Each structure stands twice: as structure tokens, then as C-alpha cells.
Structure 1
Amino acid sequence: MTQRQLLALVLLLGTQFTLAVDFSIMNVAVPVIGSDLGFATDNLQWIATSFALAAAGLSLLFGRIADMAGARRIYLGGLVLLIVASLFGGFTDSPGPLIAARVAQGLATAMVTPAGLALLTTTFPEGPLRDRALGLNGAMLSAGFTCGAIMGGLLTDGLSWRWGFFINVPIGVVLVVAAPFLLKGGGGRSGTKLDIPGAITVSVGLIAFVYGVSEAGRKGWGDDTTLIGLAVGVVLLAVFGWVELHVAQPLAPLRVLRLRSVSWGNLGGVATFIGFTAMIFLLTLYLQVVLGYSPMATGFTFGALGIGAFLGGITAPRWIGVLGGSRPLLVAGLVAQGVTVGVLFLAGPDRGWLVPVLTLAFLSSYAHVAAIVGFLVTATSGLPNEEQGLATGITTLTQQVGIAVGIPIMSAIATARTRSESAGHSLKDATLSGITTAILVNGIVVAAVGLLVAAMLVRPRATSAAT
């Protein structure tokens, strides 16, 4: 790398780490925030869900806008919004404004993440350098989630939950000041028009779908609110598909979506994010409810996952060379993640299981980040620089949707199993049964997607080049 590339990489990795921390740091503080600001119990989930809805629903739109207006402009605009929203959220003293701040932070994430990835992929051409950069990006993403959980516990217990907002401000200011000197964003493309019908249908459709899945985790899959949200989401996404076939300048050209590297790569991406976020949630319940550890102790035990994530990001580019490409790495990462998560089904109710559980979680975290790197390299390769915003918008959408729906889906499975076991067992045993059942389903789904991607995407080099 040149010195400029290295400095740009540090800047973009710092941004990714900050956004990941921002997502997870507040989840730890949710109960305290609810108590301080007077949230109703049923509304606590909106502290996390409001962020996820905005981030997932608008990522594709802002990825495309980054292609049109210039990735650096969208990146800087998103950082400024993050600073303002974090200041507002830190000073607020009632539920409504705090939810508004979380929505604004989600919107900022939807702007910064695809634009930052587009800047990264255009800074480094396809090949080993880009693989290394994306590997470190994946490491910072997962390590940020883990560090956010630890920092959330420390800040909430030692200072105040408000510092979970304030901590973004000085970091954001440094990034905004340094970015114009280190990042080349281009001026976008002239003569292009934004596909307004496509933007509205895909954004609202994704928000409705993610909302429906989130409500399923709270109220069950048969609840009217859940069904309406899912139905509206599916209908609007179908309308989006129809719109893209009939507009002159579509938001997401189908020729891009038809590329195997894009379609199947993103399927693998959503599976690995669903599996990892759900695993963290289920292990949190296991460590606190079943084994009886405190929230702070639980946060520190997740340091093992952070180490696994960092090592996975560092070594994943080398695995690309060993395995012969990013596609085999994606498959290997998914299968390894699924197997190591699935084996957690055997976990028992005593603390002697802590070391085996954390060992398997470490291996799963390593495999998860390897899968992320395989997914990002696969899904952004073979496209020109002027469409990297679209490609990274799709990958960001995949990431945010996976993060948003993973916990509700597996939570619903765990809750259903716990209720069915509660009649003849203690609460602890029933909870353990629910957690391990959801963990087993989680592992099976991730490994199965890995095998499906292997069948559809990993082909001999001569034939795969054509796809």
C-alpha cells in the first residue's frame, strides 16, 4: 500500500468500527435507558429496532445516491448527521426524542456504510490489496460489535448511558476533518436520475418487512401486526421488482442482480449475519439466565469473540489464496460457522460449560468474519467503479437486514420452545431448552446456506468466469 492508501484505510476502518460500536453499545444500556426515561416495557425494543429499520431500509437507496452524487459527499454528510444525532440523543430526556435520535443514527449508518465501502473498493483495485482491506474491514465490523457490548456495560455502570451517544462525537469530528484530505470521492455521474418509484417501494418495503420480523420476535408469527408488516413488505418489494423492469434508469439494474457473484454472495452474507447476531443474543441469555453471570461479566466473556473476529479478518485474505478464491472462502466460512454454532446445542446448565462454549463461540466468530470477507470480495468484484456504490449498497442492505432479523427469528424459536417445556420443567431448564433449540436451528440454517452457495456459486474457474 502507498502511504495515502494506508491512511485512507485506517480512516475507513475507524469509521466501520465506530458504526459497529454505535449499534451494539446502546443495546446493553436499553434497560437503564428505559428506567431513566420512562419507557413502557413493550416499547423498549424500539431503542434498537428504530435504528435497525432506518439502517436496513435506506442502505440501497444511499448506495445508489453515492454513485450519483459522489461517495465522499454522502460519507461526509452521514458523519455530520451521526454527530448531530448523537449529541441530540445524549441530551434528550424523554422517549420520543430519543427514538428520533436513534432513527437519525440509523439513517447516518445507511449513508456512511455503503459510501465508506465504495470508497474502500475504489481506493484498492481488485486483487490482494482489496482482499486485505476488506478482511480488516470485516474484522473491525465484528470486533466493533463485541467491543460495543463491553463498552456499553462499562459506560452504563461507570458513568451514564448518555456516554453511549456522546462517545461518537469526538470520533466523528476527527473523521470529518481528516476525510477530505485522505479520500478521493469523485464527483459522481452526471446525467443520471434517481429512480424515485423504485426508491420509495424498496425502502418502505424493506422497513415494513424488517418491522414484521421484529414484531414476530415480540408477539409471535401469527399476530396481526406481524402478518400485516410482512405482507406489506412482500407486496412493496414485488412492486419494486416490477418498477425496475420498466424504468429507464433503475435504482438496482437487474443485470447486476442477475450476477451470480452478487445474488448468491449476498445470500451467504445475510445468512452469516443472521447466524452471528442471533448467536450473541442467545449466548447472552445462556450466560446470564442459565449460568447466572452478571451483565458486565457477560460482556467481558465476549472478548473471546472479539479476538476470533480480529484474527479472522487478518487471516481471511490468506485463505482466499489457499482456497483459490473468495467464493470457496465464503462457503468454508458459512459451513464452519454453522457447525461450531450447532454444536453449542450440547451446552449444559452448569458453569463447567463456560470454557467449551466460549471456545466454540471463538471458532464461530473466526469463521463468521472469514465468511464476511468472502462475501464482500465476491459481491463487489467484477463491477466498474461507477457501480461500486450500488454493489456496496446491496452488501450494506444485506448486512443490516441480517442484523435486524436474526435476533427476532431465533428469539421466536427459543420462546416457543421455552413455553412448551415450562409445564414440566423449572424455568432454568425450560430456558436452556429454548436457547439450545434455537442455537441448533441457527447452526443448521447457516451451514445449509453454505452448502447451497457451494452448489450454485463455486464452479470450475473456466465456467465461473462467465457468470
Structure 2
Amino acid sequence: MSATPTSSTTPPAPTATTATTTAGDHRWLVLTTLALAQLMVVLDATIVNIALPSAQTALGFDDNDRQWVVTAYALAFGSLLLVGGRLSDILGRRRMFLVGLVGFAGASALGGIADSFGTLVAARALQGAFAAVLAPAALSSLTTTFTQPRERARAFGIFGAIAGMGGAIGLLLGGLLTETLSWRWNLYVNVPIAVVALVGGLVLLPRHSGRGAQRPAVLDVVLGSGGLFTLVFGFSQAEPRGWGDVLTWGPLAVGVVLLVAFALRQRHGSAPLLPLPIVTDRDRGAAFLGILVAGSGMFGAFLFVTYYLQSVLGYSPMRTGLAFMPMVLAIIVTAQLQTNLLVPRFGPKLLVPVGMLAGAAGMLSFTLLDATSTYPHLLPGFVLLGIGMGSIMPVSIQTATLGVAPAQAGAASAAVSTSQQIGGAIGTAVLNTIATTATATALAGAAAGDPAARVEAALHGFSTAYTWSAGIFAVGFVLTATLYRRRGDRAARAASAAERPATVGAADAPALAH
């Protein structure tokens, strides 16, 4: 074992001294800075949702156009993540982190002052584009800052918890800002957060970190970004247009073709946009699938529980956000217990599948809700989902970035965010379509205009979506339980990794053994 480890999570030799001095002395402040950026990116996927009715009234756009305020962000974010991650490897993590923060804050301010629907949608697209730069830069900076297994586990526990609970915080903050200030503050709020993170990044992040990877071919960028764009676009059209519409299945088919061509290019290219060993490693592949499945299944909670609370129980936007707090607390507690105590002892092969089962149980508990249910009936589901997400996300994010060469840290980090984004797009499209179809079927034989029948039909649609969400988590249980290596295999891999310092350093070897 080398006396001077050059871990995949340690910066290259020319900047190691600077990185160690800066991050070593202030690494928990670095974590705070990176966590603020991650929170801003994740909560913006949901914070605007609650403000949409108010924005629609103020700017005068119709219901058919409303989805584009959400879709514009998702399309830009999802399609540009791989490019953003690779830019961190080429131009430097610190530089792209700062560029992402400034751009995201500027786009948020533009959306806040928007006086037309077009300006608001353009601002949301710009937010997504800069989020695609910011998210990989933040995660790859975290990966290279925390190299000791125990501290790395704690850091990823916090970072992963934010990734899991950001959507719920977005609902809470969105409701609070919409009710007490204005819908515009759902966008303005990013500016002070970005300013704090920008100061932290300027002071704390090492200069010239992670710079120097080869530039990928333009064709790789076109195939990868184009494939992700058309895939996300196709899924976004499933609910308003239906799966049989050419604007749904057409982009999905094109997306699959482009991504297959992209994967073939990555196998043989000298400077791939996404080096395939990042995703084909068995443990990392299981981690990416876990993140994708969790993102898909969780939308059953965020979307349909929100509908249930507001349309059936009559909750206000702020009260709806507060209702999710038990889930947020469960995520925080579980994430810290898992990463600090349980993962070193049992490893991801046991804990991630257990998290999938907890998520499935939480979704099934929501199927018992009816028009007479009260808030205590929701608590078991919230707590179980919190335990599930706290078990899945931190461990999966840590595993997905473990053992990756420094020059590829941005690409690996982008793959993490891409998995979560694509999972969310799939979950939204599939579950929305299932719920809408089930509701329409239940209404078919009801008397026109009967309010009680409409409520019962909506509840049937919600329950059907919860059941399918539970099924998604069940599939995740099977996949992760099958794919993750056993402890013995992982220990052998760690021993081998310790002999390959150029790829995986000694500092990572103990973590790999878990």
C-alpha cells in the first residue's frame, strides 16, 4: 500500500498541497458550501410547482402552457448534465462551480422579474442549464475533498440526505413564500443562497482543481445531450398528450436510438463524454439504478400526496409543505445512522434493498387513505418513505462516485444527477398517466357533476399510483439486492484497488471493502 495515497477522491499531484491545505483545514465549511448549492438545485425542481397558480394569474397563461414552467427546467437540466460534468473535468471543478452559481442566481432573478410567460420559461430553461453545470461540480468537489472513509461517510450522509429531501423542502418553502410574500420569491430566494455559496466557493475551494481532461468529440456531445433531451421531452408529453401521440412516443424512440449510438461511441472513443467503466462497474451500476428507481418512486409521494392533501383534505400550500416534515426528519436521522454506523458494518448490499422495501411499504400505506382520513393516517407512510430515502440516496451517491479517477470525477457526478433526473421524469410520466387513466375509468359510470363521485374517483387514481410506486420500489429491491457485490467480493476488490493507485487509492480501499 502506497505511503502517499493517490485516491480517486484525491486531487492530482500538482494541486494536492493546495487542496489539502484548503479543504483539510476547512472541509466542513466546504461541505456547507456544496450542500447549499445542492439544496438550491434540488428544491428548484418542486418549489415553483406550488407557485404556478399565482404565476398563471399574474402573467395570464393558460393551463396547457403551465407545464412548460416545470418542463423547461427539467429538459435543460437533464439533457446538459453529462456536458456539465465533463466541463468540470476539463476546466476545473472550482471554476465551473462558481460559473454555475452566478448563472443560476442570474436566471433566478430573471424569472422573478418576468413580465411575460415567455420570459419565465426562458429563465427556467437557463436555471436548468446552469444547474447542469453546478450539480456535477458540487458533487465532484465533495468527492475530492473527503478522502478518509469515516469522514467521507459523514459528508455523503449529509449530501445524500439533501438530495433525498430537497423536493419536500421545496414544497414547504414554496408554500411559505407564496402565502407570505409572492410567487416571485420562489425564484428570488435562490439569489441570497447563491451569494453565500459563492463567497464560500471563492474562499474555500482549491484553485485549478480537477483541470486537464481531454475534450470530448462534438458528436458525443450531440448524441448524449440530444438523447437525454428527447427522452425527457417524450416523458414530459405523456400526461398531457397520451402515450399514443407522436409527440410522446416519437421523441422517446429517437432518444433511445441516440443513447444507444452514444453508448457505442463511448466504448471506442479516446476522450469519451461518459467513460463506460464508470457505469459498468457492478457496484456503481447498482448505485445508479438505485438512484433512478428512488427518483421514480418518490414522485408518487411528492405528486399525489400533495394532490391528496390540497384537493381532498383542503390543506393550504404552506400546510401541505409542513405535512412532509416527518419524512424530512426521518431522512436526516436515517442518513446519518446508515452512513456512520450501519454501512461500515453491513454494506450497501443489505441496506439499499432494505431501503427499497421501506419505500414500498410507505407507498402501500398511502393506499389505505380515503376521504375521511386525517393527518395521523399519513404519518406511517411519511416515516417509512423517509427511512427508505435515507437508506438509499446517501449510500448510493457515495458508491456511485467511489473509485473513480480524479479526471473523471465530474463525469461520474453528472451520471448521479442524470440518474435522479431521468428517474423523476419517468416517475412523473408513468404515474401521472396511470393515475389519470384510473380516475377516468372510475368516473365513467358516475353521475355527471357528482362531487362525491369525483372525490372517490380521484382517490382511486391516487391509490393506483401509490400501488405502482410500491411496485417500482419492489423492482429496485430485486435489482440492488442482485447487483451489489457481496462483502467478500468487495473486500477482494478493495485489496486489488490498493495496488492500483492511479485508479483507486489506498484511502478508498477500506471504504470499498464495505
Q: TM-score, normalised by structure 2?
A: 0.87
Question: Does the CA contact (< 8 Å) of 1:53 and 1:210 recur in 2?
Answer: yes
Shift of 1:126: 5.2
Provide the residue aligned with 1:446 in structure 2: 473
Provide the residue aligned with 1:416 in structure 2: 437
Using a 3 Å threshold, how does the CA distance of structure 1 residues 260 and 155 change in structure 2: closer, same or farther? same
Using a 3 Å threshold, how does the CA distance of structure 1 residues 189 and 73 change in structure 2: closer, same or farther? closer
The 2-side partners of 1:239 and 1:21 are apart by 33
Provide the residue aligned with 2:455 in structure 1: 428
**Deviation by residue 1:296-338 (Cα, 9 ceiling, x = unmatched):** 3222212222222222332221354465223432222122212
1:65 aligned to 87, 110, 117, which one? 87
Question: Secondary structure, in 3 states, of the residue corresponding to 1:346?
Answer: coil
Pick which of 58-67 and 328-337 moved more.
328-337
The 1-side partners of 2:187 and 2:224 are apart by 29
2:301 aligned to 275, 279, 286, which one? 279
Provide the residue aligned with 2:426 in structure 1: 405
Question: Secondary structure, in 3 states, of the residue corresponding to 2:44?
Answer: helix
Q: Which amino acid aligns with 1:15?
A: A
Alignment of 1:342-421 (within 5 A): 342-352=364-374, 354-421=375-442
Q: Which amino acid aligns with 1:279?
A: A
Using a 3 Å threshold, how does the CA distance of structure 1 residues 151 and 321 change in structure 2: closer, same or farther? closer
Pick which of 123-132 and 399-408 moved more.
399-408
The 1-side partners of 2:268 and 2:318 are apart by 54
Question: Does the CA contact (< 8 Å) of 2:359 and 2:384 recur in 1?
Answer: yes
Shift of 1:188: 3.4
User: What are the ranges of 5 or more consecutive residues in structure 2 without an aligned counterpart?
Assistant: 1-22, 447-452, 495-514
Matched, 1:8 2:38: no
The 1-side partners of 2:40 and 2:104 are apart by 10
**Deviation by residue 1:322-357 (Cα, 9 ceiling, x = unmatched):** 6522343222212221222123222222134x2122
User: What are the ranges of 5 or more consecutive residues in structure 1 without an aligned counterpart?
Assistant: none
Provide the residue aligned with 1:29 in structure 2: 51
Using a 3 Å threshold, how does the CA distance of structure 1 residues 29 and 427 change in structure 2: closer, same or farther? same
Shift of 1:274: 1.1
**Deviation by residue 1:377-417 (Cα, 9 ceiling, x = unmatched):** 21111222222111111101111222233222111110011
The structure 1 segments of at least 4 consecutive aligned residues displaced by more than 6 Å after TM superposition are none
Larger Rg: 2
Aligned residues: 466
Shift of 1:59: 0.9
Shift of 1:102: 0.2
Q: Which amino acid aligns with 1:409?
A: V
The 2-side partners of 1:245 and 1:101 are apart by 36
Using a 3 Å threshold, how does the CA distance of structure 1 residues 182 and 145 change in structure 2: closer, same or farther? same
Question: Does the CA contact (< 8 Å) of 1:338 and 1:443 recur in 2?
Answer: yes
Using a 3 Å threshold, how does the CA distance of structure 1 residues 281 and 324 change in structure 2: closer, same or farther? same
The 2-side partners of 1:156 and 1:463 are apart by 49
**Deviation by residue 1:73-124 (Cα, 9 ceiling, x = unmatched):** 1111000101111111111100111111001111111111111000001000
Pick which of 212-221 and 297-306 moved more.
297-306
Provide the residue aligned with 2:319 in structure 1: 297
The 1-side partners of 2:404 and 2:350 are apart by 20
Provide the residue aligned with 2:352 in structure 1: 330
Provide the residue aligned with 2:310 in structure 1: 288
Alignment of 1:177-256 (within 5 A): 177-184=199-206, 186-190=208-212, 192-256=214-278
Q: Which amino acid aligns with 2:91?
A: A
Using a 3 Å threshold, how does the CA distance of structure 1 residues 276 and 191 change in structure 2: closer, same or farther? closer
Question: Does the CA contact (< 8 Å) of 1:60 and 1:396 recur in 2?
Answer: no
Provide the residue aligned with 1:142 in structure 2: 164
Provide the residue aligned with 1:151 in structure 2: 173
